[in-house]
Structure 1
Amino acid sequence: MKQNKVLFIGLVWPEPTSSAAGKRIIQLVEFFLNRGDQVIFSSAAAKSESSFDFSTLRGGTTSLSLRKTDSLSLGGGTSFTSLRGGTTKQSQNLVTEFPIELNSSSFNDFIQELQPDIVVYDRFVSEEQFGWRVREVCPNALQILDTEDLHFLRAAREKAFKKSEEVDLYNETTYREIASLLRCDLNWMISEAEIDLLTNQFNLSKTLFQYIPFLEEEISTANFISYQDRKDFIFIGNFLHEPNWQTVLKLKKEIWPRIRKELPIAKLHIYGAYPTQKVWDLHNEKEGFLVHGKAENAKEVIAQARILLAPLPFGAGQKGKFIDAMQVGTPIATNSIGAEGMFDQEIPGIKSDDLEEFVQKTIELYSDEILWTKSQELGVKIHNEKFQKETFYSNMEEQIQFLQANLEKHRQQNILGKTLQQTNHNALKYMSLWIEEKNKK
């Protein structure tokens, strides 16, 4: 199997300690490194203190073929050294980081030099911004979109929640995201429920989608903290993500007062990156509602709690907090939205959409050691059966090889995608070129 050049175009620089989306994209990078591919991660966003350090992804050395003299300037003092021909240099870092610019022909120059075999878009917005340039300069590159979750589904549910109305999936984001899905050769979906929605309700071809959940190592109960050594409840989630903020409000106003009445010495610990003042204002020691901000180590704080509380009012995709909870043996109290895409009939804890039933089942789970232990053990079983990375690596590898060998035929069969590449391509292209010219002035 030949070594591929894999270009990731990140919507942001990944922050795996702040969000599940950051964790997810790192797992996909690791998949390609495991194949022996050369990975270049790019993004037009600014880095933060929490941005992932790709130099920590080590597993030996990788060969970078560098030309001795050519260096391509992309502005701002940044340069990219060609990865074609010439001498070979051994590097300890398996991933090359490279900043790119929006609405700039410098990106075309960059990929012209790089000539990636595979391009992975991090969420549909990245494909909208850069996809037309990739297709124009590198038409033979296999283009993969990792959706993270369906943005239009989450947005529609959020609107319905806030306006107390039925969910309407037909909105501007829906048309934009589905167009992006159709323009790509393959879409990695984190939820089977979302594949069903796209293929059944929207009648999209199943050949465009592949189910890839969180990709995890096998776990056991060996190092779990015991029931007796745990106490209290926890919620954790990035506060830039609206479902997390609404969940905390729901806990504060509706759920926690009822639980606290039955368990007067218990506390609820709220953790999450990027808390605003309105989050901190919810802190109330008398009520046992404690806001801590970002956890330095999410799994450590989840492991101390007896139950993870996560009755999500809306959302989509899989929930990284649930993966963390199963990995440290913390049962989960959630609802249908939370369980969607992760748990079918079996729940490593409790699930209910009825407020009073949710509260009573949660109190029972917290107080009953036998029930709690069974939920913990079920979490290990579900985790190892549904999220082991080795199970999915072979399927991912097989699909990539098949598409690379049959790319033109695959694209011809996706007539809607080819149509959208022609029409949307020009609209996105000329809008971007107009912005680029405007910026020059």
Structure 2
Amino acid sequence: MKQAIALFCILLCAKLSAQNAIQPIQDSMANYEFEKAIMLIEKEQPTEQLLLLKAKALRGLLRYDEAVTAMRQVVKKQPDNITYLFDLAEYCKVAGRLVEALECYENTLTLNPENEYAQLQKISLLLSIERYKLAHKACTELLARDTTTVALRLMANCYDGMNKLDSATVYYQKVIAKSPEDYGSVARLSRIYISTDMYNEAIELTEDYRINDTTNIYVNRQNAQAYCLNKEYKTAINRYESLVAQGDESNMTNFYLGISYFADDCFYDAYDYFEKCLKQTPESANVLYYQGRACANTFRAKEGLRHLQEAFKQTIPSNETVGKLHAAMAECYSKLPDWTKFIASLTTQLELEPDKIYNYYRIGAAYQDGLKDLDNAEKYITRYMNLYVKKHEEDAKLSGSVLLAEENTAYKAAARRLERIKKEKFWQKGTDAETQTPSTVIE
């Protein structure tokens, strides 16, 4: 009897001692004094309860990998405890160890195959690590018994990730039909519309959403971009300025707002927003190109040339891209003006893009007005007129229509220039230049 009483007293003392030890730890946790809690925990034997508290404290201090280690010790003691598996998965996710988190959910589903939370988390993780086929398979199984908007949205995300845009569109439309307030699906579907040049559909979709909510930043970004790409620049500017007023400083917003202002001939505003873009992405050839052009139109031609020269360094060589850069360089040179370099830039663009026949007219005009070289002016303007007719007469034959080149504004301007050049040459040289045939035209 005495032995039993003694044993009871020992156990009671141990229990009271443990309680006395845990209370300061719990108090520290309650007061978010995580460092103190960890220090107290490490003085005690690592019980299950203390390890749970330690993992929580480590997570609170953003020491995620250590939190995972502590939580793994708990799971090792009770590998069939679903709650602990879920906790470990969450710790793994915040630590960026997504594959390990996926293993936790799979272990949970082995213990309880019908656990819908685990199924949803598993699919979400598969999407995060871009295992779209496995996510699609899991979604198919889920949709067999669950047609909620959550399941439909996950399936839409699967098809979106696999770039099966037609199927993704169908599922996003199903989600929106059930939940018009689902801004994520509205934003994603409008993005698909924009990527496939269906700007009107994107506008209609986002405007329908905006009837009830005009503040959602994700939907408004797609709405503004659709207006910009649909060349409705004033509306795009209005939408983007509203985003800026909300505090949106994203690079995409600054870039497309700059594009909208540029297309609306508001070059100073465009310059300001492209400048913001360059602070975020100083090596973007696209931004450098447009800023170079904005500079050309805001009396900053030398600065524009620097931006364009930097764009050349960042550009993946292709005739079209490099050709556009040379055209932008010509735009800057025309504002300095430096007609020799202007002509050189347009000539280089022609070598890369022979179909840019209007460059012949611009080169001819530069020779006439800038360099006072009438022979070259006549040669290039005549070449432009001949190539214009040659380029369009075949289309006219195919369509059965009559080609009236003289009705084209640029063609008429070229004809007037050519007439003036011939008159000037007549008075300068004392020869009847007007009666000469264009036998010197370069073909």
TM-score bucket of the superposed structures, by smaller chain: under 0.3
More helix by share: 2
Higher relative contact order (CA 8 A, sep 6+): 1
